Amino acid sequence: MAKTYKQLMEEARQVIPEAPVEEVKTRLDRGEQWTLLDVRERDEYREGHLEGALSLPRGFLEIRVEETVPEKHTPIIAYCAGGVRSLMAARTLKEMGYENVMSMTGGYTAWKHAGYTWVADRQFTPEQITRYARHFTLPEVGETGQAKLLDAKVLCIGAGGLGSPVALYLAAAGVGTIGIIDHDVVDLSNLQRQILHTNDRVGMPKVKSAQQTLNALNPDVRVIGFNERLSSENVMRIITDFDVIVNGCDNFPTRYLINDACVMAKKPLVDGSIFQFEGQATVFSPGHGPCYRCLFPEPPPPGAAPSCAEAGVLGVLPGLVGCVQAVEAMKLILGIGRPLIGRMLHFDTLSAEVRMLKLRRDPNCVVCSDHPKITELIDYEEFCGLHTAKAA
Ligand SMILES: [Zn+2]
């Protein structure tokens, strides 16, 4: 027999205890461990909710609750705007085996009227809600994670082969501030792999070209260009405002300089390098793993290592390595997963083999040990015999 709304409510009330907002407040203040479940729609939750409440809109309740609250004996207080949806939701939860479920009478409206504290998450624009929808669906990212990405500041060293995919993907993902340092102009020979730039921009400063591409991709992103050459004079000033540094510069002077600067400034450095058909990526995190000098204490003698221009590099390869760098930068910002600290991912494109190498910290490292020999930044140009530092 079909039941009326009134009958349904009465039935629910017989099995589900209801708690007025005053009681809920008292229980929470006492430190009782209740899981607060907000069953309103996402936009209602976004405008304001009880502190610590999990958002699980009524329409997704049955599908997602076991993911959100895995333990059936977890005590739950469900609430909605006025107390009706949450009563129905609580009944469903009970039927699903949740042992201790209450519904808050009067809902969020009554809570607010009582003058109790509530919190509002970051307010996303309708465009942002659509743009980052696939992030919002991931519990590990969600709106909180997206807010972290939008607040994050990542510096790309070089707008070349590695910097291109890094900056493009980070901008697409909504990393709010992207710094790019590069003193070069776009050259026709760059376009084989440096996908930030286009044919009509040959001769344009790479920083300007990068800005145009990234702004066109995502207007949420603020691009800060440094059209200058990285040196011991400017490196500390440039890296200081950034949370994560991504190295996309394939020459030894810059590699040593940026490593030392990041150790001294305690900034995580997402490192990548490419050579002909092979590439590798790792994360140097001061205090948590090795730095570049733990592996290679001193730069090679002048002329010992050929540059990209001399040795050649397969197009696409920097895309592979740069994408790993972009993923690692995002993991560091979001605080999820296991970063590539103390490990190096190595790709050989010809054999299609991928290896994971273990990297160890050198307790006597000249720069990151407890008693470092190097305490000042060094410009290695003259030692390496390089006069132009070009991005990979
Ligand atoms: Zn070290």
What's the average model confidence in pLDDT over 292-319?
85
Q: How far apart are CA 185 and CA 201, in angstroms?
A: 9
**How far is the centre of ligand 1, averaged over its atoms, from the C-alpha of 12 (Å)?**
63
Taking only the tens place, the pLDDT of each residue in 199-209 is 999 999 999 99
Distance 101 CA to ligand 1 centre (A): 53
Q: What percent of the chain has pLDDT over 90?
A: 87
- In this predicted structure, what is the pLDDT of residue 311? 85
What are the tens digits of pLDDT across the range 48-58? 999 999 999 99
Q: Which long-range contacts (CB under 8 A, 24 or more apart) does 56-65 make?
A: 58/85, 58/88, 58/89, 61/89, 61/92, 61/93, 62/92, 62/96, 65/93, 65/96, 65/98
Residues shown for the chain: 392
Other CB atoms within 10 A of residue 183 CB: 17
pLDDT at 2: 87
The position carrying tokens 């600290």 is 341
Residue 309 clears pLDDT 70, i.e. is over it: no
The pLDDT of residue 387: 45
HSE, side-chain direction, 13 A CA sphere, residue 326? 22
Distance from the alpha carbon of residue 255 to the mean position of ligand 1, in angstroms: 13
How many C-beta atoms lie closer than 10 Å to residue 352's C-beta?
7
Q: Could you count the other beta carbons within 10 Å of the beta carbon of residue 60?
A: 14
Q: Which residues are within 8 A (CB) of 286 and not within 5 positions of it... i.e. 6 or more apart?
A: 262, 263, 266, 267, 268, 368
Q: Is 314 helix (H, G, I), strand (E, B) or coil?
A: coil
| Tokens found for residue 138 | 């991931």
361 C-alpha to ligand 1 centroid (Å):
6
Q: How confident is the model at residue 342, as a pLDDT?
A: 97
Other Cβ atoms within 10 Å of 370 Cβ, number: 7
Give the pLDDT confidence score for residue 46 in this predicted structure.
86
247-274, pLDDT tens digit by residue? Answer: 999 788 999 999 999 999 999 999 999 9
Query: End-to-end distance of the chain based on CA atoms, in angstroms?
Result: 73
Query: DSSP alpha helices (H): ranges in 188-307?
Result: 206-217, 235-239, 252-265, 292-295
CB-CB contact of 171 with 218 (8 Å): yes
Please tell me the distance between residue 323's alpha carbon and the centre of ligand 1 in angstroms. Answer: 25
What are the tens digits of pLDDT across the range 62-117?
999 999 899 999 999 999 999 999 999 999 999 999 999 999 999 999 999 999 99
Ion ligand 1, residue ranges at CB < 5 A: 291, 293-294, 365, 368
- 340 in Cβ contact with 266 (< 8 Å): no
The mean per-residue pLDDT over the stretch 320-334 comes to 98
pLDDT score for 385: 45
Q: Is residue 171 over pLDDT 50?
A: yes
- How far apart CA 89 and CA 67 sit, in angstroms, is 16
Cα 285 to averaged position of ligand 1 atoms, centre (Å): 10
Rg (CA), the chain: 27
Q: Which burial class, exposed, middle or buried, applies to 111 when counting CB atoms under 10 A from its CB (0-12, 13-18, 19+)? A: buried
When mean pLDDT is compared across 3-12, 79-88, 91-100, 149-158, the lowest value belongs to: 3-12
Beta bridge partners of 153: 177
Determine if the pTM surpasses 0.85: no
How far is ligand 1, taken at its centre, from the CA of residue 330, in Å?
23
In the predicted model, what is the mean pLDDT of residues 136-163? 95
Weakest-pLDDT range from 112-121, 208-217, 348-357: 112-121
Query: What pLDDT score does 388 carry?
Result: 44
Average pLDDT over the chain, rounded to an integer: 93
Kindly state the average pLDDT of the residues 205-225: 98
Distance 262 CA to ligand 1 centre (A): 11
Residue 43 reports pLDDT greater than 90: no
Q: Model confidence over 362-381: pLDDT tens digits?
A: 999 999 999 999 999 998 87
Given a cut of 60, whether residue 384 has pLDDT beyond it is no
CA of 29 to the centre of ligand 1 (A): 48
Q: How far is the CA of 243 from the centre of ligand 1 (A)?
A: 20
What spacing in Å lies between the alpha carbon of 374 and ligand 1's midpoint? Answer: 11
Residues 6 or more apart whose CB falls under 8 angstroms from that of 288 comprise 341, 342
pLDDT score for 250: 74
Q: Is residue 24 a contact partner of residue 104, using CB atoms and an 8 Å limit?
A: yes
CA atoms of 118 and 115, how far apart (whole Å): 9
